Structure 1
């Protein structure tokens, strides 16, 4: 579980990151979760945008992706989800304690 200080730090790190995944009208599926896992392993911090044609609840969508990928939700702002997961092999982000 991330502390408030760690979430603030990660939000700052994610500010200039572009969304690399999109959730469309098909919603969350196993392929999207697999792509999120791979992206998190490579980058540790990713943004996912929820398209306007997706009618699912944003919080439920974020929770489904995060639990499927084993990640932490940093923030849900507008239609953008920020996720963090510590990389096993490419660790770059050092969280404040």
Structure 2
């Protein structure tokens, strides 16, 4: 499901106060980190991740691998922090909830 700009804006607003749930560090992207991200998306639907690795190109490459593996959508990326969203049909939709 592709999100429109209004939905993305609403998710960015919700994500503002979130702390990063998963941090990718100097050891790069491991399968266990991908599983942790997927599990966090299942539970929270909207998460922040921190990418403390190399330069911008490497961060973009790792983020694209995460998005591809987790089937999530990138809502926002500022510096080393990215916000990801994936709808979980078993939980209430956070797009329809009030703040």
Matched, 1:63 2:64: yes
**Aligned residue-pair number:** 93
Kept after mapping to 2: 8 A contact 1:48/1:80: yes
Superposed counterparts of 1:7-86, under 5 Å:
7-51=8-52, 54-55=53-54, 57-86=58-87
Kept after mapping to 1: 8 A contact 2:46/2:86: yes
What runs of 5+ residues in structure 1 fail to find an aligned partner? Answer: none
Matched, 1:3 2:4: yes
Q: CA RMSD, aligned part only?
A: 1.4
TM-score, normalising length: structure 2: 0.85
Output the CA distance in 2 between the equivalents of 1:83 and 1:46.
5
Higher RCO (CA < 8 A, seq sep 6+):
1
Output the CA distance in 2 between the equivalents of 1:41 and 1:72.
13
TM-score, normalising length: structure 1: 0.87
Kept after mapping to 2: 8 A contact 1:17/1:46: yes
* Runs of 4+ displaced beyond 2 Å: none
SS of residue in 2 equivalent to 1:83: strand
Kept after mapping to 2: 8 A contact 1:44/1:85: yes
